[in-house]
């Protein structure tokens, strides 16, 4: 069966999601997981954008093997040189150069005529080929470009040495039939198209990113660019898990395969969500919490009689464990580690000790521990950042006839700092008391609470997004007590603000916007 190349841009376009920012360590963790998932190419960043981006791409290229590592560059000498340097350590490096070809971009953004764009695109590819055999070219805003001009550009970049031409629907404007037609036209009108791979890169502004990508595949595209959980600029990019599972589930229509190890999809989705702070909507296809839940009585009845009455994908096929009861209070370290290995986590001794300690604390409060609880514990260990402040104790007075009051003790080094505050509710009182201790003025931008498993003793997971000066971070906390989970999430976010502040003190130049 023909194979579709999966080009993952979670670490580049995905990271351009509002509020998402990944440090080098997080990028390496995600890149390693993407390799396990079986993607063919990882676009690790935009190296010229900042020293931090350069380092991240360089580190990913140095450490993550068995997959092609790509960096993005504008059609400029300095961008291409810096990108080449960043991807150099990779076994299979790729440089991805782009230049806009639509009238609106050429006239207002680039202030260049068609003839200049044509020359510049070919020059950029040729220049990049001096450093790297594998060069991809993207005519940005291709779907809104004049088709004859677009075809001329594609022909000339292939002549200049581009091995892949990527057709972006940059602003998510295309409609599936139209986008499929565009790919068909390129195949017919570009005389040397057989010398390059046709790729597509669809944004989701009209909610059509996946549909457009699939339509392109039906019309001959051989590579798709996508992100985990569909994160990305504005409304995001086409979602990797949706494209892969559509191709798999409807092989009868598409007749193509991918190299993706589908059982790793759910785990990858959770890791990306955890590290970017972007919560996956519950009804998200394939990886949402409700993707395999059957609520209506008729559906439940049907599923009990035969699962395929209402289920087109088996949850286990994408690594979604459901709520499997696994461990309890008396389970030992060995059983705990055994289950983690089955879930795909191999922790070192130190990580295992910390995770086991958390498991024991949890099992004192919660009778039954499910896979989701374990995932939550382990992911917290994986994404740990230095804990400048740690929750020591928490005392809440609340009710419908009293003014809520919180007294909080936070451990900093060896000292415990304690403050009290009242607030509009217990969570507000907590956050004010924490601000009083840290001295930081934080604005709460977003707060959400969900339960990790069912049952009255379920773990509650709180996610917050806070802002201080211009720095915006997210934090998460879990506990069987939702006020404690709220406090932990806020403290986690505050620790990130402090961590970012310290990191910025070691210069990492301003981010350049695309
Ligand atoms: O959306 C877009 O056009 C891009 C290009 C840089 C490929 O992300
Ligand atoms: Zn994009």
Residues 85 and 224 in one domain: yes
**Rounded CA separation 131/260 (Å):** 29
Query: In this model, does residue 57 exceed pLDDT 50?
Result: yes
Task: Tell whether 12 is covered by a domain.
Answer: yes
Indicate whether 322 and 269 sit together in one domain. Answer: no
User: Looking at the structure, do residues 343 and 404 belong to the same domain, yes or no?
Assistant: no
Instruction: Write down the pLDDT at residue 383.
Output: 62
Question: Are residues 377 and 415 part of one domain?
Answer: no
Last residue of a domain, one of 355, 382, 409: 382
Nearest partner of 360 among 327, 385, 316, 382, judged by Cα: 327
> Domain boundary at 276, 308, 331, which?
276
Q: What is the dihedral of CA 47, 67, 260, 317, to 10 degrees?
A: -90
Positions of E strands within 46-195: 68-74, 92-100, 135-140, 164-169
Q: What is the pLDDT of residues 75-128, one digit of tens each?
A: 999 999 999 999 999 999 999 999 999 999 999 999 999 999 999 999 999 999
Looking at residue 261, which CATH number applies to its domain? 3.20.20.70
- Token pair in block for residue 286: 């394939």
Atom of ligand 1 nearest to the CA of 16: 8
Judge whether 282 lies within some domain. no
- Atom 6 of ligand 1: nearest residue by CA position: 98
- Paired strand residues for 271: none
CB distance 140 to ligand 1 below 6 Å: yes
Backbone angles phi and psi of 136, in degrees to 5: -110, 145
Each residue of 376-414: pLDDT tens digit? 888 766 666 788 999 999 999 999 999 999 999 999 999
9, 22, 466 from 482: Cα distances, Å: 35, 27, 18
Indicate whether 232 and 206 sit together in one domain. yes
* Residue 43 resides in a domain: yes
| Distant-in-sequence, close-in-space partners of 401: CB < 8 Å, separation ≥ 6 | none
Question: For ligand 1, is residue 164 a contact (CB within 6 Å)?
Answer: no
Residue 171 CA: which ligand 1 atom is closest? 1
Q: Is the pLDDT of residue 508 over 90?
A: no
CB atoms within 10 A of CB 403: 11
Indicate if 7 and 90 belong to the same structural domain. Answer: yes
Residues 49 and 20: beta-carbon distance below 8 Å: no
- What is the rounded distance in angstroms from the CA atom of residue 288 to the CA atom of residue 323? 14
Same domain, 160 and 42: yes
Spell 332-343 as b/e; 16+ CB within 10 A means b.
eeeebbebbeee
Same domain (yes/no): 405, 333? no
Cα(73) to ligand 2 centroid in Å equals 13
Nearest to 287 by CA among 306, 305, 272: 272
Last residue of a domain, one of 382, 411, 438: 382
Tell me, what DSSP letter sits at residue 455?
A: S
Task: Please state, as a whole number, how many other Cβ atoms lie within 10 Å of the Cβ of residue 327.
Answer: 20
Would you say 355 and 373 are in contact if contact means Cβ atoms under 8 Å apart?
Answer: no
For residue 467, is it within any domain?
Answer: yes
Residue 6 lies in a domain: yes
| Per-residue pLDDT tens over the stretch 298-344 | 777 777 887 888 889 999 999 987 556 678 888 889 888 888 887 77
pLDDT given at position 222:
98
| pLDDT of residue 263 exceeding 70 | yes
- 180 found inside a domain: yes
| Percentage of the residues of the chain whose pLDDT score is greater than 70 | 96
DSSP for residue 321 = -
What is the per-residue pLDDT for 505?
62
Asked whether the beta carbons of 75 and 99 are under 8 A apart, the reply is: yes
All residues with CB under 5 Å from ion ligand 2: 13
Region of poorest pLDDT, from 340-344, 401-405, 494-498, 500-504: 500-504
Distance CA 372, CA 369 (A): 8
- C-beta of residue 454 within 8 angstroms of C-beta of residue 426: no
**By the 8 A CB rule, do 435 and 494 touch?**
no
Mean pLDDT of 242-252: 98
Distance CA(141)–CA(120), nearest Å, equals 16
* Cβ neighbours of residue 204 closer than 8 Å, sequence gap 6 or more: 172, 210, 230, 232, 234, 235, 236, 237, 238
Assess whether 152 and 211 both reside in one domain: yes
Distance between CA 487 and CA 76 in Å, rounded?
47
Whether residue 513 has pLDDT greater than 70: no
Whole-number Å distance, alpha carbon 29 to ligand 1 midpoint, is: 24
Report residue 391: phi and psi, to 5°.
-70, 125
Q: Quick check: is 287 in a domain?
A: no
Number of Cα atoms under 13 Å in the Cβ half of residue 144: 14
Closest-lying ligand 1 atom to the alpha carbon of residue 168: 3
What distance in Å separates the CA atoms of residue 286 and residue 291, rounded to the nearest whole number? Answer: 6
Q: Which of 385, 266, 273, 279 is nearest to 315 (CA)?
A: 266
Q: What is the mean pLDDT of the chain?
A: 91
The mean per-residue pLDDT over the stretch 458-466 comes to 89
| Cβ 363 under 6 angstroms from ligand 1 | no
With the most atoms of ligand 1 within 8 angstroms of its CB, the residue from 201, 213, 232, 235 to mutate is 201
Residues 395 and 308 in one domain: no
Residue 509 has pLDDT above 60, yes or no: no
Domain count, the chain: 3
Residue 329 burial (CB count, 10 A): 14
Range of the domain at 234: 2-276
Does residue 290 lie in a domain region? no
Ligand in closest contact with the CA of 70: 1
Examine the domain organization and report whether 184 and 302 are in the same domain. Answer: no
Measured in residues, the chain has a length of 514
Stretch 360-378: mean pLDDT: 84
Task: Report CA Rg, the chain.
Answer: 25
Between residues 56 and 373, the one the model is more confident about: 56
Q: Judge if 51 and 172 occupy the same domain.
A: yes
What CA–CA distance (Å, rounded) separates 326 from 1?
A: 39
Helix segments in 250-322, DSSP class H: 251-254, 265-276, 297-305
Ligand 1 atom closest to Cα of residue 166: 7
């Amino acid at each position: 069966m023909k194979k579709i190349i999966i080009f993952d841009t979670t670490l580049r376009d995905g990271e351009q999601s509002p509020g998402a920012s990944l440090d080098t360590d997080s990028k390496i963790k995600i890149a390693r997981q993407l390799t396990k998932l079986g993607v063919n190419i990882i676009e690790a960043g935009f190296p010229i954008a900042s020293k931090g981006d350069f380092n991240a791409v360089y580190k990913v290229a140095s450490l993550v093997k068995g997959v092609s590592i790509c960096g993005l560059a504008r059609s400029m000498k300095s961008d291409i040189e810096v990108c080449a340097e960043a991807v150099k350590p990779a076994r299979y490096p790729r440089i991805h150069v782009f230049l806009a070809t639509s009238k609106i971009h050429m006239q207002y953004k680039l202030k260049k005529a068609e003839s200049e764009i044509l020359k510049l695109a070919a020059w950029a590819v040729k220049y990049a080929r001096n450093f790297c055999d594998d060069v991809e070219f993207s005519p940005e805003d291709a779907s809104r470009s004049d088709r004859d001009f677009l075809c001329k550009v594609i022909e000339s970049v292939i002549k200049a040495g581009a091995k892949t031409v990527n057709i972006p629907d940059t602003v998510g404007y295309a409609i599936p039939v139209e986008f499929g037609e565009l790919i068909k036209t390129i195949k017919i009108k570009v005389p040397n198209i057989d010398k390059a791979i046709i790729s597509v890169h669809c944004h989701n502004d009209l909610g059509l990113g996946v549909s457009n990508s699939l339509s392109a595949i039906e019309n001959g595209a051989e590579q798709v660019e996508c992100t985990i959980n569909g994160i990305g600029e504005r409304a995001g990019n086409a979602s990797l898990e949706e494209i892969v599972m559509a191709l798999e589930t409807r092989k009868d229509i598409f007749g193509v395969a991918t190299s993706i190890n589908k059982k790793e999809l759910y785990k990858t989705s959770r890791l990306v969500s955890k590290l970017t702070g972007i919560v996956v909507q519950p009804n998200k296809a394939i990886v949402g919490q409700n993707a395999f839940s059957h609520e209506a009585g008729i559906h439940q009845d049907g599923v009990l009689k035969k699962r395929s009455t209402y289920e087109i994908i088996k949850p286990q096929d994408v690594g979604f464990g459901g709520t499997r009861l696994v461990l309890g209070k008396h389970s030992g370290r060995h059983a705990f580690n055994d289950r983690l290995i089955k879930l795909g986590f191999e922790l070192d001794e130190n990580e295992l000790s910390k995770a086991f300690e958390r498991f024991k604390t949890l099992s004192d409060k919660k009778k039954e521990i499910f896979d989701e609880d374990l995932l939550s514990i382990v992911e917290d260990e994986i994404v740990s950042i230095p804990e400048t402040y740690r929750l020591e104790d928490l005392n809440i007075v609340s009710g419908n006839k009293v003014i809520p009051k919180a007294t909080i003790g936070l451990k900093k080094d060896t000292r415990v700092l304690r403050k009290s505050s009242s607030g509009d509710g217990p969570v507000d009182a907590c956050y004010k008391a924490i601000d009083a201790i840290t001295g930081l003025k934080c604005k709460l931008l977003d707060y959400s609470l969900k339960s990790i498993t069912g049952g009255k003793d379920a773990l509650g997971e709180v996610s917050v997004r806070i802002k201080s000066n211009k720095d915006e971070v997210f934090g998460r906390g879990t506990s069987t007590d939702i006020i404690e989970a709220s406090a932990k999430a806020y403290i986690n976010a505050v620790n990130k603000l402090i961590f970012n502040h310290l990191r910025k003190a070691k210069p990492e130049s301003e981010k350049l916007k695309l």
